[in-house]
Amino acid sequence: MEPWIEYDFEERRNSPIWWYNKASDLRASARVIWAAINHGEDNNETLPDLGLGAGFSIDVACWPVYKMLIGMSFEALLKSGFVSQKTEVEYTHKLNVLAESLNLQLTNIEYETISYLSEYIIWYGKYPVPKTIKLYEGFLKRQHSLNEKSCGVSLDPKDILHWEQINTLWLKVFKAIDKKYGIFSN
C-alpha cells in the first residue's frame, strides 16, 4: 500500500474537521431537497429528465430522503465529538445513543426527534420496510407521537422537521459539541 493512502485514511478518520465537513455536506444536501420540496419543484424542467412520469411527486418521494440526509448529517456531527475526544467512534446509527454518550443537554422532544431521524438513516430513507414488523410498528408509533405524516410535508414553521427548526437543532448540537470537545481547537 502506498504510504499516502494510510496517512490520508488516518487523517480523515482521526480529524474532527473531516467529520464536521461531511456533516455539513449532508446538511447542505438536505437543504437543497427542502428547497425543492418547499418551492414545488414538480415542474416541467426536472421531471421529464428523470423519466418518472406525471404521477411522480417530489414532495412525497423526497420527504423521507430529506430526513435521511439530515439524520446522516446529525450522525457525522455527533461522531465528530467522539473523534475530537480521541475515543473510538461508536458503531451505531442511533442518534439519541450518540448524543447521550456525549452527554449533550437536549430536551425530550429534541431527543425524540433525533431518535426518529435514526429510523431514516437505518431504513426508511433507503427501504420500504425495516427488517421486522415489530420495528415498523415502533416507527409508526414514534411517527404518530411527533404528529408527523410520512407522505405529507409539513410546511408549518413550528413543525420540528421544518428546515428552520431542524437546522436550529443542528446548530445547537454543533455548538454544544464544539464548546465541550473543541472541534475547531484540535
pLDDT at residue number 185: 59
Considering the chain, what is the average pLDDT of its residues? Answer: 86
Q: How far apart are CA 32 and CA 83, in angstroms?
A: 28
Instruction: State residue 45's pLDDT score.
Output: 59
Residue 40: partners with Cβ closer than 8 Å, 6 or more residues away: 58, 59
Name residue, grid cell 430522503. 65
Q: Is residue 140 predicted with pLDDT exceeding 50?
A: yes
47-97: per-residue pLDDT in tens?
677 777 777 778 888 889 999 999 999 999 999 999 988 888 889 999 999
How many Å apart are CA 65 and CA 104, to the nearest integer? 26
- Rounded to an integer, the average pLDDT of 102-112 is 92
Average pLDDT (154-182) is 85
84 vs 57: CA distance, rounded Å: 41
pLDDT in the model for residue 182? 77
Q: What is the separation of C-alpha 9 from the centre of its chain, rounded to a whole number of angstroms?
A: 24
* pLDDT tens for each residue of 24-37: 999 999 999 999 88
Start-to-end CA distance of the chain, whole Å, equals 28
Percent of the chain at pLDDT above 70? Answer: 88
In this prediction, residues 167-177 reach a mean pLDDT of 95
Total-model pTM? 0.87
